[in-house]
Amino acid sequence: MEPAVLGGKLASSLMGPLLKKLFVADGPGAGLVDRPVRLKDLVSFRGEKRVLVEKDVHKLAEHLVRQAVDSPGEPPFRADERIAVADALARRLLALGDLDMDDVQAVRLGHRELARTLTRSAPVPDGLSADAGHFLGSATEWACLQILEFFTRRSTFVPRTLVEQTRAQSELIAKTDELLARTPRPDARDTAFERRYRAYVAERHNHLTIYGIDLRDSPDRWPLEVAYLSLEATAAEDRPVPGDGPGAAPVTVQLPAEQALLGHDRVLLRGDAGSGKTTLVQWLAVTAAREGAHVPYVLPLRTVIRGADPFPAPAAFLTAVGCPLSAPEGWAERVLTAGRGLVLVDGLDELPANDRHRVRDWLVSLVHAFPGNRWLLTSRPTAVRPDWLAAQGFRELTLAPMRRTDVATFVHRWHTAADAGQFEGPLLDSLRTKRDLARLATNPLMCGLICALHRERRGYLPTGRKELYDAALTMLLTRRDRERGLPVVDEVELGEEAQLELLQRLAYALVLSGRTEMDLDTAESIVDRSLPVVALHRNRHARTVLRTLLLRSGLVRRPADGVLDFVHRTFQDYLGARYAVAEGHLDVLAGHADDTQWEDVIRMAVAHARPGERASLLRRLLAARSPRLTLLALACLEHAVALDADVRAEVERRAAELIPPRTTEDAKVLAEAGPLVLELLPGPEGLTAEEARSVAVTASLLGAEEPEGALAVLRRFRDHPDLKVRRQLVGTWSRFDTAAYAAEVLDELPRGDLYLTCESAEQRAALTGMRPWQGLTFLGSHSVGEILDAVREPGAVTLLDLRDNPLLTDLGELSPFGALRELMLARCPAADGLERLAELPLAELVCGQIADVTGLRSLGSLVRLSVEQELPGDSLVEVLPVDAPLEFLFLGRNSTNRTGLRGLEHWTTLTELSLGPLTTDLTAADWEEVTALPGLRTLHLNARILRELPRSVKRMPELSGVKALRVPGLLGIEDLSVLARRLPSVRRLTLQTMPGHVFPERIPQLFPTADVVRVKR
């Protein structure tokens, strides 16, 4: 819906006055002040004399959306999304108060650019359909059009504009003269080319192949915005528990996959075959091309490595992928030098191992040469070791298997696209009730095949993975000319068996070469040698047969001139394994077992093999005495319906040596073997606490793939006495059905020392049905009203942790939490009013990146205080609570920029002082404040102070009263000798490294009388 159309549905005479309420009344005068009034001072929902509150803005947005939806004509989106759309529109309107511009500058932007600015400033809406998202964008543009119209009618606008023009003209002349003197005139060809290139990328990648829809009269490609399914990416990280104590709890960070580059500009994304890696690359490329902030370069490695220069410089990026556009000389380098590039390198696992190291060297050299750009590299999970690019600053994410809700969404979109709605309901019922079938539907590829088979067979579905592939191949290979009303191509008609024979030979050749592409000449020679075998007439030319195979099979394609590959690596591995077994190449299979690229080939070979061949191959895997190959043998049992009982028993016995897992890493490796592991997981009886936690980790990792079996394992650990085990159970909530997991696991857990994390509306809803929790964490955008609605007994909550919440404004709204003793506020940019918490029995407060900390002085009950943002004033006594009996104080990044440690001696009750990664040097006077603390016994000193502010440490006097020292954030290069001299009485030293780093040397010699605790992150 275009803004003009939307405006037609919403009468300007009605809506204009409503939007006018967003701004304060017009004042007298011409507006000739030196400092123009900013938008944040014009809006009526900010400041001391606010006319509207945020709830009023939400009501206004609801009114606008309701008028559009209820007006005559087809609804622009589903009715159940109305609240979510209105909420998102309200957040964008509220973002007006955060823009650093005045009304003249806003009008100069234009309504479309202003809308884009508000969209970037507001939180990203979660879970909206394509239709709702399109409506939201149009509604934002229409609202901005009305807002700018209102600005131009203000009495001060015209005089202000004339003044601005006069000032701007003088400034422009001066700046232009300076620019011409320093910089050559920019080449307009760059801009014109970039416009053409963005349009090309958006068109080139704006489609998906939904496997199985390309049958009969259905098209095989669909618009990306219709077919794209937002999947989840995860990263395993250690995060500190609330407070500043030593150690951290392992957590799984989750985010929408398309947001992988929002928080980090270098990402290595791992994902199994068919998990959607390439689709995500397309989505990122099309989005970047349309939004214009970054210039996307899509570099499929299997295509790039074919060129004359397999690892091209930026100037050759376009030619390496066959882009027909010719860029101006030096354009790509200028883009990357300016930090505007989005480089998407796809398919590391599709290259031989030796080439992968060359890819790393190539990519790292580009990153170093062109800092400031965004870089994404995709790979299968086992292609390279963990942290393969960590030293170069790459964050590792993994595409998670599809959850039940994802599968349901995919099934709905598939049937909508295929115009087969009558089959959607029955298939969803089968996926919910048939365990084997649900186990297969874990990625978009398999879901598409299942949907297609279900429709093609009118409701009948196979039950095993091999049966499914066999059925899928039959479906794809029997698209006769008569089914599509087409004549025979080149008078060659290939039956299913003939096609399979040719395809499996091509597949096996690719498997042996370690690649996923071959040139057409090689493929033609393979077909030529195979023609006598498939009993085709001798006058059939290999080139004709190959062309027919490309046109008709649906399994191979020509991605570029002179190149052939399979539509998906899974089919290549399946058919390659079929040929290897048929030819008796068991030795070849066993010889490549150590190569991770052969894992799926070996699994499928076990499925194709006869019982004796299966036993022989599994014995070869076990003979290697490798844990990974033992787990591979265990995974193969899923496909070994008929197998020698002794061999099966030996595989299971050897696997028992790996079960239970002893560490988190063992648990992750074990989970890779698949859901069969769930049947072998013991406990909790007879397990150590660490083994019990590792078993819970394994089951958690398998929760998305086999939720029922994983849930059955985790239920057994609900009453475990170890806190780490119960924390693992709490932390894996998002992998399971929200309500089921809440009822069967979370609500049965002992509550002591546990805090529950809520991230979504579904989790908030589930929280209302549980017994009270004393500790609660809310991540993301949750209004205080929504939080209170979810917490049935706020008076029972003693710990509350609120993070990344732009909706939190007036902290006084937290007053119903009458028993609250610990409060954490992190990255809540609009939160103020700390003084209104004075009536609560707060003993501990953690705050960082909130709007205003001046209210701290009112919190006289605090015993522990952590602050990580700049403090106002010239002394700590001007902002921290002078009446509080503080025993612990943490000062983090930027906290001492203005105050230093002046006034610290006031808190004579302090026994523990923690200094985080400070950004300004400490003076001798600052350290005198520390020496004046009579009870100080513990000091925390972040290692960044040692590295980046060495003068601060040199100024430290001798602190003979300090008995315990903790130094987090070590890289292993720090010199701790100065601390040893200044802290002679230390009896306990805790050292904590950054991930991937080592401990400094000579620690025992420096602190001979101290007990040293090493914590490796």
Q: Convert the pLDDT of each residue in 926-985 to its tens digit.
A: 999 999 999 999 999 999 999 999 999 999 999 999 999 999 999 999 999 999 999 999
pLDDT digits (tens, 9 = 90+) for 761-817: 999 999 999 999 999 999 999 999 999 999 989 999 999 999 999 999 999 999 999
Lowest mean pLDDT among 171-185, 303-317, 348-362, 988-1002: 171-185
Which residue in 5, 289, 333 sits closest to 142, CA to CA? 5
Hey, CA dihedral for 745, 751, 754, 756, is it positive or negative?
positive
Q: Highest mean pLDDT: which of 252-266, 268-282, 809-823?
A: 809-823
- The pLDDT assigned to 15 comes to 54
| Average pLDDT estimate for 575-599 | 90
Q: What pLDDT, on the 0 to 100 scale, is given for residue 805? A: 95
CA distance linking residue 778 with residue 759, whole number of Å:
6
3-state secondary structure of 617: helix
Point out which residues pair with 399 in neighbouring strands: 233
Query: For residue 566, what are the β-bridge partners?
Result: 556
981 closest CA partner among 1011, 959, 1000: 959
Q: What angle do CA 464, 465, 466 make, to 5 degrees?
A: 95
Q: Contact 693/665 with Cβ under 8 angstroms? A: no
Tokens 């622009």 locate to 76
Tokens found for residue 104 = 């003249």
pLDDT at 26: 56
Q: Dihedral (C-alpha) 217, 221, 222, 227: value to the nearest 10 degrees?
A: 110
Give dist(CA 445, CA 429) in Å, integer.
20
Angle of CA points 9, 11, 17, to nearest 5° = 140
Our measurement of the distance from residue 691's CA atom to the centroid of its chain's CA atoms, rounded to an integer in Å, reads 29
140 class by beta-carbon count within 10 Å (0-12 exposed, 13-18 middle, 19+ buried):
buried
Are 744 and 707 in contact by the 8 Å Cβ rule? The answer is: no
Mean pLDDT of 522-545: 81
Residue 48 pLDDT more than 60? no
Confidence of residue 421 (pLDDT cuts 50, 70, 90): confident
DSSP string across 717-745 = TTT-S-HHHHHHHHHTGGGS-HHHHHHHT
The tens digit of pLDDT for each residue in 887-905 reads 999 999 999 999 999 999 9
Dihedral over alpha carbons 555, 525, 508, 585 (to 10 degrees): 150
pLDDT in tens, 51-105: 567 777 888 888 878 877 776 666 778 878 888 888 888 888 888 877 777 777 7
Measured CA to CA, the distance from residue 899 to residue 744 in angstroms comes to 51
Q: Which amino acid appears at position 31 of this protein?
A: G
The confidence score (pLDDT) of residue 28 equals: 44
pLDDT at 799: 95
Name the pairing type of β-strands 517-519 and 563-566. Answer: antiparallel
pLDDT for the residue numbered 485: 38
| Sequence-ordered list of residues with C-beta below 8 angstroms from that of 696, at least 6 positions apart, any chain | 713, 714, 717, 725, 728, 729, 732
Q: Tens of pLDDT along 827-851?
A: 999 999 999 999 999 999 999 999 9
* DSSP state letters, 500-516: HHHHHHHHHHHHHHT-S
* Tokens 């030529």, residue located: 528
Q: Which residue intervals of 485-554 are DSSP H helices?
A: 496-513, 520-530, 542-552
1001 token code pair:
């040397």
With helix as H, strand as E and coil as C, how does 203-268 read?
HHCCEECCCCCCCCCCCCCEEHHHHCCCCEEEEEEEECCCCCCCCCEEEEEEEEHHHCCCCCCEEE
In this prediction, residues 282-296 reach a mean pLDDT of 90
pLDDT tens across 137-170, in order?
A: 888 888 888 777 777 766 565 555 555 555 555 5
How many C-beta atoms surround the C-beta of residue 664 within 10 A? 17
Above 60 in pLDDT, residue 290?
yes
- pLDDT reported for residue 898: 94
* Whether the predicted pLDDT of 16 surpasses 60: no
Residues 6+ apart with CB under 8 A from 954: 978
For the ranges 302-311, 660-669, 858-867, the lowest mean pLDDT is seen at 302-311
The reported pTM is 0.48
DSSP string, 340-361: -EEEEEE-GGGS-HHHHHHHHH
pLDDT (mean) for 211-215 = 46
- Predicted confidence band at 175 (pLDDT cuts at 50, 70, 90)? low
Distance, in Å, from the CA atom of 482 to the CA atom of 485, rounded to the nearest integer, reads: 5
Residue 616: pLDDT band by 50, 70, 90 thresholds?
Answer: very high
Higher pLDDT, 348 or 374: 374
Q: Return the pLDDT at 551.
A: 67
Give the Cα-Cα-Cα angle 211, 214, 219 (nearest 5 degrees).
120
Average model confidence (pLDDT) across the chain: 82
- pLDDT beyond 70 at 213: no
Three-state SS at 758: strand
H-only helix segments in 493-639 = 496-513, 520-530, 542-552, 569-582, 586-591, 599-608, 611-623, 627-636
Q: What percent of the chain has pLDDT over 70?
A: 83
pLDDT of 50 higher than 60? no
Q: Which pLDDT score, from 0 to 100, does residue 908 have?
A: 95
Average the pLDDT over each of 42-46, 328-332, 864-868 and give the range with the smallest value.
42-46
pLDDT of the residue at 44: 65
C-alpha 646/C-alpha 626 separation (Å) is 20
- The pLDDT score that the predictor gives to residue 185 is 41
Return the structure tokens found at 710: 């994983």
Q: How far apart are CA 344 and CA 301, in angstroms?
A: 10
Secondary structure E strands in 643-786:
755-758, 775-779
Residue 897 identity (one-letter amino acid): N
The answer to which of 225-229, 641-645, 943-947 has the lowest mean pLDDT is 225-229
Contact 85, 128 (CB under 8 A): yes
For residue 356, the one-letter residue type is: R
Average pLDDT over residues 741-745: 90
Question: Is the backbone peptide bond immediately before 950 cis, with ω within 30 degrees of 0?
Answer: no
Q: Write down the pLDDT at residue 218.
A: 47
**Residue 215: per-residue pLDDT:** 47
**CA distance linking residue 542 with residue 548, whole number of Å:** 10
Q: Name the residue with higher pLDDT: 438 or 115.
A: 115
Per mean pLDDT, which range of 23-37, 112-126, 250-264, 291-305 is the poorest? 23-37
Residues forming a β-bridge with 214: none
Instruction: Please give the pLDDT value at position 992.
Output: 94
Q: Encode pLDDT of 452-497 as tens digits.
A: 778 877 777 765 667 777 877 776 676 433 343 333 444 467 778 8
The winner for highest mean pLDDT among 155-159, 223-227, 290-294, 624-628 is: 290-294
Fill in the amino acid letter for 72: P
Q: How many CB atoms lie within 10 A of CB 518?
A: 19
What are 97's two structure tokens?
């108060």
23 in Cβ contact with 42 (< 8 Å): yes
d(CA 806, CA 830): 6
Higher-pLDDT residue of 460, 192: 192
Q: Do the Cβ atoms of 63 and 95 come closer than 8 Å? A: no
